Chain A
Amino acid sequence: MTTPSSTSMTAPAPTGAGDTEGVRVAAIAAGRSNRLPGWFVILWRNGKCRFGLWMLLAFVLVAVFAPVIAPYGPRVDDFGLSEGPTGAHWLGTTARGEDVFSQIVYGARTSLLVGTVAGVLSTIVATAVGLTAGYLQGTVDEVLSFFINLGLVVPVLPLMITLAAYSPVKGLGLIIAVITVTGWAFGARIKRAQIITLRTRDYVTAAKFAGDGTARIIAYEIAPNMMSLIVVGFMGSALGAIGAEAGLAFLGLGDPATTSWGTMLNQASMGGAMTTGQWAWLVAPGIVLALLITAFTLINFGVDALSNPHLRED
């Protein structure tokens, strides 16, 4: 294996400058031998991260093939009420007589959908705001920075609840919108800080002298050096979105017609899962939620290595 560090004795990279650039170079070098994107190769090399990726893949498969895997429909309520786990109902039934296991399987769809869509949307918003503020500076930056800081300090869940309460429709779309509106600030702040250090690099000046325009400089000179940061940001937002969806649904602010782990927990605690002894109804959604979060956390170990070389040295 020839890594760039084998040449580092003769060509030491400037210390402290552009950590993510160094990572990006390692990523490009890593990705050269095959068709995969470099950052993915780095993630894959990390054992914990690889395990997390397998877990995530399992969740994705369950979500995609939910109708095949689930023995019943999530809303079929022809069964006994609040039954404990049996051979026919592995995780028992709800107070309305639905199959808990089937709901768990279908619930994966909701969590992954919200995580992906809200994660992508808030990453886009964060990147756009952060890049604009950091690159343009001046008044634009001051105005945008103010909004970023405002977005950081405003209590998120109360804002989500208030926004959700006013909305005329309830549903997944609303939840995704609310999470996006409230969840972009942190990523934007980090990206702004990063671009401010990157934009003063000599190679950006050089690109100007080479006749490149602002858009091209951002897209070709700056963005590639921020790729790992964008991946980090996406992972964080997706994780936050999954948690927020579960929380909102648990509070009863979700769409009661959608099957989600949060809604299940809400119905379990309302439906007396604790008093009837149908513990599986209460425990199962929490465990799968924890497993999904674990998958993301494990992947984050690799992502941390992407964004913070200090931690790679341990």
Chain B
Amino acid sequence: MTLLEVENLSVTYSPRDSAAVRAVDKVDFGIEEGEFVGLLGESGCGKSTLGHAILRLLEKPAAITGGSITFDGRDITHLDEDELRPLRWADLSTVFQSSMNSLNPVITVREQFADTFAAHPEAAGDRPDVDARAGELLEMVSLGRDVLRRYPHELSGGMKQRVALALALALRPRFVLLDEPTTGLDVVVQRDILDRLRELQRKLGFAVLFISHDLGTVMEMADRVMVMYAGEIVEDQPAGDMIESQLHPYSAGLLGSYADPRDEVVQVAFVPGRPPDLSREHAGCLFEPRCPVSVDACRTEHPELLPAGRGQARCLLVEQSPDDGALLRDVAPTDRLGGVFSADSEPRARGAADTEPVMVVDGVGKTYRTKRGVRTTTTRAVDDVSFALRPGRVSALVGQSGSGKTTIARLITGVERPSSGTIRFKDTRVDTLRRRAMRRYRRHVQLVFQDPFSALNPTRTIAYALGRPLRNHLGMTGEQARQRAAELLETVGLSPAEQYLDKLPGQLSGGQRQRVVIARALAPQPEVIVADEPISMLDVSIRAEIVELLDRLVRERGIAMLYITHDLLSARLLADEVMVLNQGVMVEHGPTLEVIGQARDAYTRRLLAAIPRPGRSRESWPDEPPNEAERVPAGS
């Protein structure tokens, strides 16, 4: 029997002072006992809301407005809190998104296990031995028993996440909902936790609904994958089948955003546009405005989720063939992608490797001293790092969090001074600049930030944001600056510019904001741009768009770019050379294909292993990197 049956489920947000939003719309699916199901979707698609609805945790102003949820044959859609309580955790448990905040900060880990046991005597027994059982659970997720005595703030992000996982399994539930359980953690830690999770799931046999925006992990973990778009399930297929061929154009676009960076030719796709406004009624297919293959009928007819192949799809163009060969009708595979960005093994038509460098970093080190009480600890954040940036070329700086890559960005932009070594911009020593000279220097070195939501002042218009560098660095008048700001917006693909100039950042999507941030960096005509993880906060389907934009700017304007990332795929797409940083030391440095193709460093290889490669079946994926890449101790 199906363990969890969701039928026709709708969830609506009805805020007091704005229009109601249909966040989840008539969703239908079931999960079998012991099945591992992935739910894939981008920000705002309603996947977390759906998760909360299943757990019956929705709070005002969100509410279930239709359909039903049946667990183990029992309709739980309208049970009240008292009736739900025995089911909770003993049958349905969860690990939340950002478990950073899902542990009670003022009680110990042990107490959080103890109250779980105490609330469910029927599942945990009347007098459970908390220390023994909780200790066992912690060991199951590779944590020591001493963690029991600790408070959440004493644990690292990875450790908290493991505690949350152990807690979720405490009562041997039959169903566990995992909502972005590893988002925000370092790639290596992430990998470790997910491996453990999959292992435990096989051993203990609980069913999982794994919610994530991260296609790679979903494809790798799940037996079956559902893709959600704008509140609806648009595709539901066994993971292996979906990797082979996607039914819905949106899934095709999502999977197209990945490729193996070691390939000779790397091609990634993106889906232009943004999701629809769900507070309005839509007649046709919700994906139609972004769809590269839509036909006239798509505009008027709303497709149903119908069987196709070994799964289901919500697309008018999917042929309802009785055999296994469900395909998008009459569409060649390459045409299904909205936009494509590719990089081959040939050197790009950009600056040459022997051009005179604009920026030379020579033997730079940075030591931080932290005073805590009487003791002073020194941390060596960057150690003897040397490289050069050349016009028209991109150097990627790759490393995990804490490897010192952001420190290097701060050093070459003059936000901080190196403890040793020199940084030269043309003939200027950057590391000794004083106030006024520093301001002049910054005209030539600009930053592109990671988080497009924090990089633009929410209270200032786009015209203001772009106008400041123009007026300060280029001495333009208000009218000239506005003119130039419009040109810049056109350059970064926000056209017609007049439509954007007077908008506030809040009125733009994440991708549009990032384009504005890039336009602002271009404004003073800099020679060097430092881009600090510029795509990591963006939705997968639009990342390649930004990569393409950056590539074009470097090529057309001869800019020297330092591209900081932990994502080897984007480094492969964009960079001419790659530098790998580990604990402040540069461990690899060379032409992109060379470094990525014959990675020597254990960390680089782990990064490579973390990149999903759709198009190959899971079994054929290479195993974990060799065992010499020892398990990273939790919390490091």
Contacts and interface: CB of A to CB of B under 8 A. Distances in A.
Interface of A: 1, 3-7, 9-14, 17-18, 21-22, 24-25, 28-29, 201-203, 205-212, 220-221, 224-225, 313
Contacts of B447: 205-206, 209
A212 B459 contact: no
Which size bracket describes the interface of B in this complex?
A: 35 or more
Given A10-B44, A12-B43, A205-B415, 9 more contacts: A9-B21, A9-B277, A14-B451, A24-B458, A206-B517, A210-B472, A211-B524, A212-B468, A313-B60
A211 B524 CA distance: 10
A200 to B, nearest CB: 9
The A interface is mostly helix, strand or loop, or mixed, namely helix
Contacts of B61: 313
Nearest to A45: B17
A201 to B, nearest CB: 5
B15 A5 contact: yes
A187 to B, nearest CB: 21
A79 to B, nearest CB: 54
A128 to B, nearest CB: 21
Nearest to B508: A11
A10 B24 CA distance: 14
Given A3-B17, A7-B277, A212 B472 contact: yes
Interface in B272-328: 274-279
Interface string B536-564: 00000000000000000000000000000
A130 B415 CA distance: 24
Q: Which 7 A-B pairs have the closest CB atoms?
A: A211-B472, A210-B469, A210-B468, A202-B455, A203-B457, A5-B18, A224-B459
A211 B439 contact: yes
A10 B507 CA distance: 10
12 contacts: A5-B18, A6-B277, A10-B274, A11-B274, A12-B43, A21-B459, A202-B450, A203-B455, A207-B457, A210-B520, A313-B15, A313-B16
Given A7-B277, A29-B504, A201 B454 contact: yes
B99 interface: no
Contacts of A313: 15-16, 60-61
B506 A25 contact: yes
A159 to B, nearest CB: 34
A17 B458 CA distance: 12
Interface string B1-29: 00000000000000111110101000000
B456 interface: yes
Which of A3, A4, A21, A202 counts the most B-chain CB atoms under 10 A from its CB? A202
Contacts of B16: 313
Contacts of A212: 468, 472
A46 to B, nearest CB: 10
Which of B61, B449, B453, B459 counts the most A-chain CB atoms under 10 A from its CB? B459
Given A14-B453, A207-B468, A7 B278 contact: no
A271 B61 CA distance: 57
A7 B473 CA distance: 34
Given A202-B454, A203-B455, A211-B473, A13 B506 contact: yes
Which of B19, B61, B454, B465 counts the most A-chain CB atoms under 10 A from its CB? B454
A217 B415 CA distance: 16
B415 A28 contact: no
Interface string B429-455: 000000000010011011101110111
B457 to A, nearest CB: 4
B413 interface: yes
Contacts of B455: 202-203, 206
A203 B277 contact: no
B85 interface: no
Nearest to A7: B507
Contacts of B17: 3, 5
A313 B17 CA distance: 9
Nearest to B474: A211
Contacts of B442: 208-209, 211
A150 to B, nearest CB: 23
Contacts of B617: none
B190 interface: no
